[in-house]
């Protein structure tokens, strides 16, 4: 397989009127795209433009929907207001004020990312980190807070639009290392963003190498959340920097840790180019575990055949299908969200089409405030229809793997729209969530001073029975 290298070129909102591919759209359509791009981030590159989008199928092409702003992504009133302001060339300060208002109305940080996920040491928040689940810490390197192209549905869109009080980022890994040494319960670090693979390997090393040293033996895996294999696969196939990345993966493995690439593939087309397939194969050959995931997005991948074909192709390349997510309750959710019942049906239909090798995938799953909630089925008991739900991951480890039920609601698209079934007053985790919110401490697994005193008392109270041991020896 011969794959020519190409130079990376990026395009943003100022190019929406001049991109040659967009000239077939009407002026009103281009104006609409500009209006949406004032609020939500837009960035695309030449590979996506030239290799992934079928321009004869625009605007319905799924990758076009995935990467270009669409008129339906804003509320009708806000959309009309911005279009009018652009038409009359409104003053920049006036436009910026409306844009800021709209952004803050779009639930910029869902699921307690700012209020509950950020760990504190000595009363101070730790920059660029989240610790929602006991075993996993998320780390946001400052230099990795952009992507080769932006997804229109992205739930981390505030990272890219200048909402500085909404950003997660850290300039160096020292604070992360110190935190990990004090928290032996953490077994996995997820380096995320943005996209850490936007960084050159030399810079990525500055964050990774400290995690390979002594005192962090309990950290068994280092994960990289990335869409680069789909949006810029040359990152893994061409040049000295790609070679150096493969060496870094080997060094992670040599240190006894798993190097996991959490690759986002949304549609089959992203896996059909020669360079994308070569990228996945090279990562696997270098020793990385490649796991694949993506949210279910209306207008993009809300059909079962796409998912079944993707999962089969991923398996054939050596990757592991991992998650189908539900679109989060942020940003342009009204344009992209799929009712939960339909998400379950799409997943089930796709799941039925693949062999056990691809049935490693879990879904559809909501990453909501209490944890990752799986839609496991729909049942009817004594005339009451209900969703069967399972907590795959939880803020409280005691919640994990618990099954619970919600009243069936054909309009529901997210967890906060569901109500308990079968006469229950509330879901099993709600009392615990109230306590976390009241205390401001979501890491319930942390040992308290009382726990430490009780453990010390227990150990000191149990005196060794040497006489009993001698009798056993005889």
DSSP assignments along 347-370, one per residue = HHHHHHTS-TTTTT-EEEEEE-SS
pLDDT tier for residue 428 given thresholds of 50, 70 and 90: very high
SS3 call for 188: strand
* Helix or strand (DSSP H, E) at 304: helix 304-316
**pTM (global) more than 0.85:** yes
For the stretch 41-87, pLDDT in tens is 999 999 999 999 999 999 999 999 999 999 899 999 999 999 999 99
- CA 156 – CA 294 distance, rounded (Å): 14
Alpha carbon 12 to chain centroid, angstroms: 23
Contact 328, 290 (CB under 8 A): no
**Dihedral angle at the C-alpha atoms of 311, 316, 222, 237, nearest 10 degrees?**
-120
Determine contact, residues 265/310, Cβ cutoff 8 Å: yes
Average pLDDT, the chain: 90
Average pLDDT over residues 180-209: 95
Where b means 16+ CB within 10 Å and e means fewer, 185-206 reads: bbebbbbbbbbbbbbebeebbe
**Thinking of the domain 120-372, which architecture would CATH place it in?**
Alpha-Beta Barrel (3.20)
Cα(188)–Cα(138) distance, rounded to whole angstroms? 9
Tokens for 42?
Answer: 């837009």
pLDDT confidence of residue 470: 47
Q: How far is CA 49 from CA 22, 58, 64, in A?
A: 10, 12, 9
The pLDDT, as a whole number, for residue 20 is 94
- 191 SS3 class: strand
Question: What is the 8-class DSSP label of residue 235?
Answer: G
Where residue 25 falls among pLDDT bands split at 50, 70, 90? very high
pLDDT at res. 471: 43
How would residue 115 be classed by pLDDT, with cut points 50, 70 and 90? low
Is 238 in a helix, a strand, or coil? coil
- Token match 């009103």: residue? 28
The rounded Cα 56 to chain-centroid distance in angstroms is 31
Q: Where are the domains of the chain?
A: 10-104, 120-372
Using a 10 angstrom Cβ sphere, with 0-12 exposed, 13-18 middle and 19 or more buried, the burial of residue 256 is: exposed
DSSP 8-state code for residue 448: P
Contact criterion met (CB below 8 Å) for 346 and 303: yes
pLDDT value at position 467?
Answer: 52
- Residue 368 has which token pair? 């909501």
Task: Report strand pairing: 371-381 vs 362-367.
Answer: antiparallel
For residue 22, the model assigns a pLDDT of 94
Work out the pLDDT band at 90, boundaries 50, 70, 90: very high
Q: Which two three-digit tokens encode residue 195?
A: 């996209």
User: From CA 157, how far away is CA 361, in angstroms rounded?
Assistant: 26
C-alpha distances in Å from residue 233, one per residue of 3, 181, 292: 11, 34, 15
Of the CA atoms within 13 Å of residue 227, those in its CB half-sphere come to 24
Tell me which long-range contacts 112-119 makes (C-beta under 8 A, separation of at least 24). 112/369, 112/442, 113/168, 114/166, 116/369, 116/395, 116/436, 116/437, 116/442, 117/442, 119/179, 119/443
Q: Are 442 and 116 in contact (CB under 8 A)?
A: yes
Is residue 170 within 8 A of residue 141, CB to CB? The reply is: yes
Taken in order 163, 168, 173, 175, the sign of the CA dihedral is positive
Phi, psi of 146 (to 5 degrees): -150, 180
pLDDT for residue 254 is more than 60: yes
User: How many Å apart are CA 235 and CA 275, to the nearest integer?
Assistant: 10
443 closest CA partner among 13, 12, 32, 121? 121
* 400-427 confidence digits (pLDDT tens): 999 999 999 999 999 999 999 999 999 9
């Amino acid at each position: 397989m011969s794959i020519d290298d190409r130079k990376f070129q990026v395009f943003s909102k100022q190019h929406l009127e001049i991109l040659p591919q967009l000239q077939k759209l009407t002026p009103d359509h281009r104006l609409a795209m500009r209006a949406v791009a004032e609020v939500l981030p837009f960035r695309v590159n030449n590979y996506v433009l030239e290799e992934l989008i079928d321009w004869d199928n625009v605007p319905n092409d799924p990758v076009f929907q995935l990467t270009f702003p669409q008129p339906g992504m804003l509320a009708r009133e806000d959309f009309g207001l911005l279009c009018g302001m652009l038409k009359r060339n409104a003053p920049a300060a006036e436009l910026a004020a409306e844009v800021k208002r709209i952004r803050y109305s779009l639930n910029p940080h869902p699921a307690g990312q700012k209020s509950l996920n950020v760990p504190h040491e000595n009363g101070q928040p730790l920059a660029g980190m989240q610790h929602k689940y006991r075993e996993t810490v998320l780390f946001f390197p400052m230099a990795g807070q952009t992507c080769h192209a932006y997804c229109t549905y992205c739930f981390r869109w505030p990272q890219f639009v200048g909402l500085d009080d909404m950003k997660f980022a850290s300039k160096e890994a020292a604070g992360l290392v110190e935190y990990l040494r004090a928290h032996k319960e953490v077994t996995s670090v997820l380096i995320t963003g943005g996209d850490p693979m936007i960084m050159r390997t030399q810079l990525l090393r500055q964050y990774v190498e400290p995690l390979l040293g002594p005192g962090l033996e309990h950290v068994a895996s280092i994960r990289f959340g990335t869409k680069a294999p789909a949006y810029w696969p040359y990152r893994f196939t061409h040049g000295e920097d790609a070679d150096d990345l493969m060496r870094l993966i080997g060094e992670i493995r040599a240190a006894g840790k798993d190097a996991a690439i959490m690759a986002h593939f949304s549609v089959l087309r992203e896996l059909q180019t020669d360079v994308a397939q070569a990228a996945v194969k090279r990562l696997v050959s270098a020793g990385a575990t490649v796991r694949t995931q993506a949210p279910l997005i209306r207008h993009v991948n809300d059909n079962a055949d796409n998912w079944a074909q993707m999962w089969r192709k991923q398996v054939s390349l050596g990757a592991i299908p991992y998650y189908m997510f539900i679109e989060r309750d942020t940003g342009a959710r009204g344009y992209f969200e799929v009712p939960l019942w339909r998400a379950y049906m799409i997943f089930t239909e796709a799941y039925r089409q693949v062999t056990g090798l691809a049935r490693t995938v879990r879904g559809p799953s909501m990453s909501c405030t209490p944890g990752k909630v799986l839609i496991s089925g729909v049942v009817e008991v004594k005339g009451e229809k209900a969703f069967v739900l399972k907590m795959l991951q939880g803020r409280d480890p005691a919640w994990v793997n618990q099954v619970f039920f919600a009243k069936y609601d054909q309009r529901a698209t997210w967890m906060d729209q569901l109500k308990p079934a079968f006469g229950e007053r509330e879901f099993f985790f709600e009392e615990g969530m109230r306590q976390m919110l009241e205390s401001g401490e979501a890491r319930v697994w942390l040992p308290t001073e009382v726990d430490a005193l009780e453990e010390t008392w227990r150990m000191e109270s149990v005196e060794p029975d040497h006489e009993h041991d001698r009798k056993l020896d005889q």
